[in-house]
Homo-oligomer: A and B are copies of this chain.
Amino acid sequence: MRDHEKPEIRKLPLFRDMQTENFERLMQAAYAQAFPAQLDLIHQGEPADFLHIVMEGAVELYAKWRSNETTMAVVRPVSTFILAACIKDAPYLMSARTVEKSRIIMIPAEDLRATFRIDPDFAVSTISELASCYRSVVRHAKELKLRNSRERVAAYIQRQSRRAGDAASFILPAEKKLLASYLGMTPENFSRAVKSLQPFGVVMDGPRIIITDRGALDQVAGTNPLIDGPDPSAESPRLETDGPSNIPGHLKVI
C-alpha cells in the first residue's frame, strides 16, 4: 500500500472514528492491487471474502440474471463497496468490474467482522454506514417504481448538478450506456429522454450537460429530497451502492 493511501482511507467515515491500533491492524491485513480496465473483480454468488476499497479508477457494480445485465452503481475513489456481504459472510449479490484502470485495496472480511466486535466506535461507524447504504437503495427502488424514464433522467441531471455545487454545466461521470442501465432504461431511450428535456432547459453536448433553465428542470424532475437525497445529516452526498463512503469533495457513485 502506498504512503498516501492509508491516511485517505482513515478519513472515510467508516474508518474515521475507530481505535488507531485497530485501524493499523486492519491495514496490515489488507493488500493492494492494480487492475486493467474491464476486468471482472467479483462474480455474484461467490462468497464475500474481502471488503474492497477503490483508490483510483472506477468500478461498476452490476447484477446479472439470465441474459440480462443491469448496472447497480459505479463506485469512484475513495469508496468502499460490498460491505454488507462481508458482514453477513454471505455470497455477493452483485458482480463488479473495473470501468477503467483501477487500484483496489482489499481487507479480509474476517478481520473486518472481528474488528467491529472489539471496537465499539467502529461498530457505530459501521451501523451508520449501513443505514446510509440502505437508505440509498431504498431511494433507488422508489425512483424505479415511481418515476418514468424521463423523470428519472431529469432527477439524475439535477442530482449531478447539485453535487457539482449547483453548477449549470457538468460532465457526465460515466458512459451513457452505463448511466442508462443504472437508470433502468436502454441507451437509446436515455438519449431520447435527454433530448426531450430540451424544452425544459437541458442541453446535452457530447458528455457535457448544460442546464439553461433550472426552474423548468425542477418542474419535470419533481425534486423531492426524500427520493433524491442526500440525507441532511450526511456530510457528503451518498448514493446507491453496497457501502460507499467518500471523502467530501471526491466524486462518488455514478
Contacts and interface: CB of A to CB of B under 8 A. Distances in A.
A94 to B, nearest CB: 7
B135 A93 contact: yes
A128 interface: yes
Contacts of A66: 146, 222
A168 B117 CA distance: 42
A126 interface: yes
A142 B72 contact: yes
Interface in A54-90: 63-66, 68, 70, 72, 83-85, 87-90
A44 interface: yes
A215 interface: no
Interface in A134-154: 134-135, 137-142, 144-147
B145 A184 contact: yes
Q: Is the interface of A mostly helix, strand, loop or mixed?
A: helix
Contact of A120 (B85, B123, B133, B233): B123
Interface stretch (A18-26, A34-42, A157-165, A223-231): A223-231
Given A72-B142, A141-B141, A123 B116 contact: yes
Contacts of A116: 123-124, 127
Given A44-B226, A135-B93, A68 B123 contact: no
A199 interface: no
Interface in A111-136: 116-117, 120, 123-124, 126-128, 130-135
A39 B2 CA distance: 57
B65 A146 contact: yes
30 contacts: A45-B226, A63-B146, A65-B147, A65-B222, A65-B227, A66-B146, A68-B146, A70-B142, A72-B141, A84-B130, A84-B131, A84-B135, A84-B138, A87-B127, A87-B131, A88-B131, A88-B231, A90-B233, A93-B135, A93-B226, A94-B138, A94-B142, A116-B127, A123-B123, A134-B134, A134-B137, A137-B137, A137-B138, A138-B242, A141-B141
